[in-house]
Amino acid sequence: MKILKTVFAYAAILAATLLVPCAAAATPKLYVCPSCGCAADARMFDKPGKCPECGMDLVEKIDNKLQPRRLTVAVLLFDGADVIDYAGPWEVFGQAGFKVFTVAESSKLVDAVFGQKIFPDYTFVNAPRMDILLVPGGPGSRQAMQNPVVLKWVQQAANNSEYVMSVCTGALILAKAGLLDGLSATTFHDAIDLLAEVAPKTRVVSDQRYVDNGKVITTAGLSSGIDGALHLVSTVKSKGLARATALTLEYQWDPEKKFGRATFADRYLPRIYEFDGEILSADGDVEHWEAQALLSKPNSMAAILDLLSKGLAENTPHAKSAVAVKRADTSSSADAGTLRWSFVGDDSRRWNGWALVEQSKEDPKKFVLSLKLNSESKPK
């Protein structure tokens, strides 16, 4: 019995002796910067955290091999940036596993549209290299496109990234930075003409939600950025991942369907800023348009018709011919307050318009303006 106890004790000591070196030889975990191009790419760290050079999350180095690197997306921010322009793509890229961060000229609070305020993650001075540069639009893009500091950084970031994508009037910033010369591009429907003016060397497209030139992708207004981001995910990763991402977002993504807001018939209606009121309805497509507005200014039927007549005759956009405006005979009660006009558009189609001004039944001090615009033939 003593012999057995001695044998078991010796075996236990031997096992403990053999196991200790194995535990001591366990390889410690190491962490590295995810190869963003900063000065710390070759360094290793003994614990997780932030890269001291670029501030990105360190990733674990396993069996001398890095974990698959997350693609990075840098979002340019500026005062007056439109929230959906960057939030929509951000959601897409985030769901697809990309790392998204923001960059601005300075570290101060950015005032986006509708009161949203956001602190940028980086400034132009310390921003890490990105795989994708995202340039949103918004009211502030008009100021950003005139800022030489912004344009210089966009040029440098574009040169160091794999892809550049604009949303809405972010295309104006790319144009001013010289990144759209010789390419095709699109933008927000109300800025199509401005883009053509700012980028004379660019073929401006109005009937697509996004235009892919390879490295540079431009998208139309607002929600079109979601389509552009999904398209980019399908290009960089796979169409399957893009489809799964769209389903996760409950977004009806149809990459084959064309929807060009800038081609709708209201592109032929003048903007008359002297009108003051609210839109009651608006609907149409590329062939026709109907709208109603409740006007408080001007405060007479005659003044409203005068302004509308002048606007149609002098400022109808995209008209290839003179606009013939005909006022109805006010002596006839049946035609009182009506106006008709016709012209040939830049699509070589003839367009016919009709307007009616009536006193509001709910508020006698206001007037209801009804508009209809129809094309006579198919575009040539």
- pLDDT of 332: 58
- pLDDT of 58: 80
The residue-averaged pLDDT of 282-298 equals: 96
- pLDDT of 236: 96
- pLDDT of 35: 62
* C-alpha distances in Å from residue 51, one per residue of 29, 45, 59, 75, 197: 16, 9, 10, 20, 44
- pLDDT of 31: 81
The answer on pLDDT for 309 being more than 50 is yes
Are β-strands 350-359 and 276-284 bridged in parallel, bridged antiparallel, or unpaired?
unpaired
| Residue 206 pLDDT level (bands cut at 50, 70, 90) | very high
Buried b (16+ CB within 10 A) or exposed e, 32-69: bbbebebebeeeebeeeeebebbbbebbeeeeeeeeee
Ordered by start, the domain boundaries in the chain are 27-69, 72-262, 264-375
- Fold topology of 72-262: Rossmann fold (3.40.50)
- Say if CB 323 and CB 342 are below 8 A apart: yes
The residue-averaged pLDDT of 311-330 equals: 92
**Whole-model pTM above 0.85?**
no
More confident: 52 or 340:
340
- Give the pLDDT confidence of 210-267 residue by residue, as tens digits: 999 999 999 999 999 999 999 999 999 999 999 999 999 999 999 887 788 999 999 9
- pLDDT of 334: 59
- Give the pLDDT confidence of 75-104 residue by residue, as tens digits: 999 999 999 999 999 999 999 999 999 999
- pLDDT of 57: 78
| Residue 67 pLDDT level (bands cut at 50, 70, 90) | low
- Say if CB 126 and CB 34 are below 8 A apart: no
Q: The tokens 């040539």 sit on which residue? A: 380
- pLDDT of 331: 57
Tell me the C-alpha distance between 97 and 95, whole Å: 5
- Give the pLDDT confidence of 127-173 residue by residue, as tens digits: 999 999 999 999 999 999 999 999 999 999 999 999 999 999 999 99
Tell me the C-alpha distance between 177 and 175, whole Å: 5
Q: The tokens 């006022």 sit on which residue? A: 327
Are β-strands 117-118 and 184-185 bridged in parallel, bridged antiparallel, or unpaired?
unpaired
CB-CB neighbours of 236 under 10 Å:
17
- pLDDT of 69: 74
- Say if CB 288 and CB 374 are below 8 A apart: yes
Question: Any idea what DSSP says for residue 266?
Answer: G
More confident: 35 or 4:
35
| Residue 26 pLDDT level (bands cut at 50, 70, 90) | low
